[in-house]
Amino acid sequence: MTGYAEKLDRAFRASDNFACVGLDPVPDLMPVSDVAAFNQLVVDATHDLVCAYKPQLAFYEALGVPVFQALEDTVEYIRRRAPEAVIIGDGKRADISSTAAAYARAMFKTWDFDAATVNAYQGDDAVLPFLDYPNRGVYLVCLTSNDSAERLQTLRAGDPGGDSFLYEQVAGLAAQLDRAGETGLVLGANRTEAIRDLRAAYPRMPFLIPGVGAQQGDARSAAAAGIDAAGSGIVISSSRAIMYAPDGGDGPAPAIRTAAQRLRDTINSALQN
């Protein structure tokens, strides 16, 4: 086991769980106005409870140039406060090879993320530049949690006769391009049956499973369906349900910590059973 797979395994062992906190700043919901300060509050409250953090880049881009510095500060803070945690840059980037190369450079050199989410709709060209960075992970968007995902993702595709779904073709592409355990899949937490089938087809492939909490995904079912034979291989992410957990009167940090503990314990309970 080398590269990103080894880094992910270290994160699992250091935290003894598979929970991830999505860092999605929404000013109207934040208890403090400074994005970097709020992210640091979240990290302080959860650093010993999770294996990963997942900044969703759209939330930072929407707030303009000054917030880019907050994102850089956040990555640096996670490196200090939770040094074994994996940081996943969730941008779902994709384009022709030259543009994809620029996206990859931004994700891995500029922002120093450990992994990135990538769309493979344009084929190998959109993915290969991300694989030029040793020790970095690439999660291909496979089957998502949104209501209209089936409009494209469950179309029949492949050889004449259409014997598989389009999302299954994406999973096959991830497996074909994998070199050392660095390619994985993004699978919505509400897609339990597909997660189970894909785990059977790809026993050791990393799965990033967002959609727990506000998107109504069930962490227990997703964990049980996605765990690999070695008892590893999943990162289950919740964003708004943790970052903006209702304040019980003691301030935001205890509420955030309680929500993260709840996610961790739900996952662990499912796997123990």
pLDDT tens digits, 196-218: 999 999 999 999 999 886 555 68
Rounded to whole angstroms, how far apart are CA atoms 60 and 74? 11
Q: What angle do CA 152, 87, 235 make, to 5 degrees?
A: 55
Rounded to whole angstroms, how far apart are CA atoms 176 and 194? 19
Asked whether the predicted pLDDT for residue 154 surpasses 90, the reply is no
Provide the residue ranges of all domains of the chain, joining segments of one domain with +: 3-272
Contact 174, 188 (CB under 8 A): no
pLDDT tens digits, 33-46: 999 999 999 999 99
Give the CATH H-level superfamily of domain 3-272.
Answer: Aldolase class I (3.20.20.70)
Report the pLDDT value the prediction gives residue 138, as an integer from 0 to 100. 98
- Is 92 designated active site? yes
Q: Which of 7, 54, 92, 109 is catalytic?
A: 92
Lowest mean pLDDT of 5-14, 119-128, 155-164, name the range: 155-164
Report the pLDDT value the prediction gives residue 212, as an integer from 0 to 100. 86
